[in-house]
Amino acid sequence: MLPTIDNSQTQETNLLIDLAKLMAGDFSNHKQALADSKTYAHIRIFFRPLPYEFFSGIGFYSEQTYDYDLWSPYRQGVHRLIDCGDEIYIENYSLQDAYLYAGAGHNRDILLTINPNCLERRYHCSMIFKKDGDLFRGSVEPGNRCLINRNGTETYLVSEVELTEATWISWDRGMDLVTHQQIWGSAAGPLKFEKRASFAHELPLLKR
pLDDT of 51-79, one tens digit each? 999 999 999 999 999 999 999 999 999 99
CATH class of 11-196: mainly beta
Question: What residues pair up with 191 in beta bridges, in sequence order?
Answer: 170
pLDDT of amino acid 12: 44
Structural contact between residues 23 and 60, judged by C-beta atoms closer than 8 angstroms: yes
pLDDT of amino acid 13: 78
pLDDT of amino acid 205: 64
> How many Cα atoms occupy the beta-carbon half-sphere of 29 within 13 Å?
23
Structural contact between residues 141 and 121, judged by C-beta atoms closer than 8 angstroms: no
pLDDT of amino acid 204: 86
pLDDT of amino acid 207: 46
pLDDT of amino acid 206: 55
Structural contact between residues 162 and 129, judged by C-beta atoms closer than 8 angstroms: no
All structural domains of the chain with their residue ranges: 11-196
Spell out the residues 6+ positions from residue 41 whose beta carbon is closer than 8 angstroms to its own: 33, 66
Phi, psi of 162 (to 5 degrees): -130, 125
In this prediction, the residues of the chain whose per-residue pLDDT falls under 70 are 1-12, 205-208
